Amino acid sequence: MPGSKSTAELYADYKIKVQKIADVRNALAVLGWDQETYLPEKGAGFRGQQITTLSTIAHELFTAPELDNILQALKGNTDLDPVQQKNILLSTEDYEKNKKYPAAFVADMSRVTNESYHAWIKARKANDYNVFAPALSKMIALKKQETDILGYEGHPYNALLNEYEKGANTAMLDTIFNEVKTALSPLLTQIEQHPPVNKDFLHLHYNRDVQWQLGIHLLKDMGYDMQAGRQDISEHPFTTSFSPQDVRVTTRIDENDFGNMTWSCIHEGGHALYEQGLPTEQYGLPCGEATSLGIHESQSRLWENNVGRSLHFWQHHYPRLQQLFPENLRAVSLSDFYKAINKVQPSLIRTEADELTYHFHIMIRYEIEKGLMDGSIAVKDLHHTWNEYYRQYLHVTVPDDVHGVLQDIHWSHGSFGYFPTYSLGSFYAAQFFTAAQKQVPELDNNIIAGNYQPLLEWLRTNIHPFGRYYTSNELCKKVTGKELVFGDFLDYAKKKYGGIYNF
């Protein structure tokens, strides 16, 4: 019985139970990684069964009453140190939240998710939103139900936002995306008035093996620990972690697109550095987990954009790049290369967008999700709403649904509230990088010299070691002295694109 045990014994029991759940989940992650990289074709059938079995075990362990008893016994116990108290608090929150979902809702959600995913695939094949709309309607009805199950203050969408970014709400996001509209739109108009930048040379033939070597080289330079991870090839690049001592990344290589591998490799490397920097002594516990999707994305985008698309970064790497691909790049100056890799061009597809117009893609999805949740946007008219937004904000005409409302998988999976974390990631990244530039002596000169150790050390001190101990908002205030604001990103964008496009 919990009552007869000391606090230390109870905490030890808690740790064993929660780490056991983490072991099962990490084993699941290994199977998932394998599925995306090396699984032979015939292995898929039983692999599905193995994944379902382990998922069920993880769920059973997490919902077991013994864990609840221990959490109840330790809740509010001030004999525990602050990190231990935080672990108990967060595990209790996770447990309570999980308990809120009625079994019937979970079953409905699983059925509708399956249905809407297949409807989405079918709709894409037919290039017809109307094929997806009935299933999406059901999904949105369930999501509205979920907002009631979870509870919320203010807008119902807040309940869903909170799932991916604890504490995020429409008040905060309205402010930020209004600034995207009012401050980035004029910047975009200025850029559109300039002659287009040439980036054709990025689409010449870039040998696969040489690209692979370049990727490994960049990961090592960034400080990614190859003894605690590895890189493989997959269709969609991703990072997955089984512990801070085994964090895998994947990439893809397109021989006719130099940028494809390069920046996805740096991006995933940024995610991986965060996971490798989480505290090993908190393995499996909340304080050993990433704080939020937005903060995770801030780490990938800081490396990808603030570092990896900067002139400073390529001052060091470009001469070597020219040696690796002499036929393609011998006659291209560093300045032209830098302009090409930062070319701004409004487009239809989010995943192909540049660093600036990207946030209009997210803002549009944010407005739509919010409208779907409060009923101000109808599912039936969604493709028209979508096309109108793209015309208004990105000045492009959507030719068909595949290049419009059907492009992302997220809604078919029921992921509402996820998209904003992509933009938050970039805005956190700008704010963190600005803070690092102030706090780390000679940061820029070190980057020019190809030395990322001071930056990594700063991240390892200020961002990585806390896990979920701080929420994203608390972490941001602690590191930068203020809550998330759009201003640092705007300053960064103005300086960078003003330099490139001469305004």
Q: Which is nearer to Zn ion, 300 or 305 (CB)?
A: 300
CB atoms inside a 10 Å sphere around CB 267: 23
- Quote the least distance from Cβ 300 to Zn ion, whole Å: 4
Q: Give the footprint of Zn ion on residues 177-216 (CB under 5 A).
A: none
CA distance 279 to 109: 34
124-133 per-residue burial string, b: 16 or more CB within 10 A, e: under 16? beeebbebbb
Q: Select from 30-38, 224-232, 292-300, 336-344 the region that touches Zn ion (CB under 5 A).
A: 292-300
Whether 494 and 183 have beta carbons less than 8 Å apart is answered as: no
The kind and range of the H/E element at 69 are helix 65-74
300 forms part of the interface with Zn ion (CB under 5 A): yes
Whether 295 and 484 have beta carbons less than 8 Å apart is answered as: no
Is 255 annotated to bind a ligand? Reply is no
179, 268, 275, 304: which is the annotated catalytic residue?
268
Residue 249, strand partner residues: 231, 239
Please say if 268 is a catalytic residue. yes
First to last CA, the chain: 71
- Quote the least distance from Cβ 124 to Zn ion, whole Å: 23
Cα dihedral sign, 295-343-354-189: positive
For Zn ion, which residue has the nearest CB? 300
Residue 239, strand partner residues: 249
Q: Which is nearer to Zn ion, 13 or 268 (CB)?
A: 268
Q: Select from 178-186, 293-301, 477-485, 488-496 the region that touches Zn ion (CB under 5 A).
A: 293-301
298 forms part of the interface with Zn ion (CB under 5 A): no
Q: What's the DSSP call for residue 214?
A: H
- Quote the least distance from Cβ 425 to Zn ion, whole Å: 7
Is 297 annotated to bind a ligand? Reply is yes
DSSP alpha helix (H) spans, 223-357: 258-276, 293-301, 311-324, 326-329, 334-341
Q: Select from 155-163, 246-254, 297-305, 348-356 the region that touches Zn ion (CB under 5 A).
A: 297-305
276 forms part of the interface with Zn ion (CB under 5 A): no
Q: Which is nearer to Zn ion, 159 or 272 (CB)?
A: 272
Number of residues that bind Zn ion (CB under 5 A): 1
Q: Which is nearer to Zn ion, 113 or 300 (CB)?
A: 300
Is 115 annotated to bind a ligand? Reply is no
**∠125-127-132 over CA atoms, to 5°?**
85
Q: Which is nearer to Zn ion, 276 or 300 (CB)?
A: 300
The CA radius of gyration of the chain, in Å to the nearest whole number, is 23
What strands lie across the sheet with 239-243, from one edge to the other?
A: 231-233, 246-251, 239-243
- Quote the least distance from Cβ 266 to Zn ion, whole Å: 11
Q: Which is nearer to Zn ion, 143 or 267 (CB)?
A: 267
Residue 246, strand partner residues: 243
Give the tokens for residue 480.
């930068």
Q: Select from 280-288, 298-306, 359-367, 396-404 the region that touches Zn ion (CB under 5 A).
A: 298-306
- Quote the least distance from Cβ 357 to Zn ion, whole Å: 18
Q: Which residues lie near Zn ion (CB under 5 A)?
A: 300
The annotation places the binding site at 267, 271, 297
The annotation places the binding site for Zn(2+) at 267, 271, 297
Q: Which residues form the catalytic set?
A: 268
